[in-house]
Amino acid sequence: MIDGFGRNIDYLRVSVTDHCNLRCVYCMPREGVSFLPANEILSDDEICRVVAAAASLGIKKVRLTGGEPLLRQKLWNLVALIKMIPGIETVTLTTNGILLGDQVERLVQAGLDGVNISLDTLDPIEYRRITGGGNIRDVREGVKKALMWTPPLTLKINCVSGAAGKEHLEAVAGLARTFPVHVRFIEIMPLGLGRQFPLICQEEIVKQLSKTFGPFTPCPQNLGSGPCQYYTVEGFRGRIGFISAMSHRFCTQCNRIRLTADGCVKTCLQYSGTNAIKTLLGQEASEEEIAEALKKIILEKPEGHHFRESLFRKDHFQTDQISEEQRSMFQIGG
């Protein structure tokens, strides 16, 4: 599926819930959060209908997100169903890792190909502060169990670089030296509470980490579904990566669309999406009709985001009559 700017769209991120068991400072307020009622969240069958239609257009990779996706009852059943859809090559998961230890065996048996774990610090006190009370020991247990599988489950650590102080970045990066995992530093996106945090750019982190670990050598291989830029470091078992949507605007390489928990299709994080797919699902539309709606949405995918421009405006940035997204990441799908 080629969009209006010649990009091959082959990656679908599916939010399976907006609920979360943490309250990370850049994502969700500690109090006063309104979640979707259960009857508004897409069922397994509805998600699979959308994925099947998307696969008919060329979607090959699916990532399950939230909120916290492991809060969804028997998520492994959904993994198994998606893996059976013709054309889908990989199904992966992004999680905070708190519940991973208890579920990883069933997820792997269902066919899960990889897990990304959100982890912004290794310090238990700082972790509790950032997450609103989370226990890092649960995450460590999840990582330990995820590394036990043969063949190995692809494991990546996602660190939002502005969440904790710079002194915490080295410890997180060190996980790639000790374990066969890739550590990726993600620039915080100015959505919701994320607007309140500083941007720590890729070059700044590379400079800091190089003083401790030695030279960073760019890695030419693509190690995932997205635009992450990876580096090799001598003595490391894994790679260090950077997802720098702000300082290294990679919109020309964007290959993804998103399906929110309530059936909203998003083609760009900055702009609000459409509920057409949810409406079609309620009307018992055919796979061909859903695919036609997805095709239209993909062809209207914006050329790129304008987050940096909108940060300096008091009014909400608009382009081509598309409104700026007002929801937070947990409502969109991380």
Sorted by where each begins, the domain ranges of the chain are 11-332
User: Residue written as tokens 């919701």?
Assistant: 192
Half-sphere exposure of 275 (CA within 13 A, CB side): 8
> Kind of pairing, strands 182-186 and 217-218?
unpaired
The answer to whether residues 81 and 48 touch, using CB atoms and an 8 Å cutoff, is: yes
What DSSP character marks residue 168?
Answer: G
What does the DSSP assignment read for 256-315?
EEEE-TTS-EESSTTB--B-HHHHHHHTT--HHHHHHHHHHHHHT--S---HHHHHT-SS
Q: What is the pLDDT of residue 319?
A: 45
Q: What is the pLDDT of residue 334?
A: 66
CA–CA gap between residue 316 and residue 334 (Å, rounded): 22
- Dihedrals phi, psi of 82, to nearest 5 degrees: -65, -40
Per-residue pLDDT of the chain (334 residues; tens, 9 = 90+): 898 889 999 999 999 999 999 998 888 888 878 889 999 999 999 999 999 999 999 999 999 999 999 999 999 999 999 999 999 999 999 999 999 999 999 999 999 999 999 999 999 999 999 999 999 999 999 999 999 987 778 999 999 987 777 889 999 999 999 999 999 998 887 666 666 777 788 899 999 999 999 999 998 777 766 678 899 999 999 999 998 766 666 777 889 999 999 998 988 876 666 667 888 998 889 999 999 999 999 998 887 665 555 544 444 444 444 566 566 666 666 6
Give the bridge partners for 92, in sequence order: 63, 114
Q: What is the pLDDT of residue 194?
A: 60
Angstrom distances, CA of residue 91 to CA of 74, 214, 224: 15, 34, 12
* Tokens found for residue 45: 């069958």
Prediction pTM value: 0.90
CATH number of the 11-332 domain: 3.20.20.70
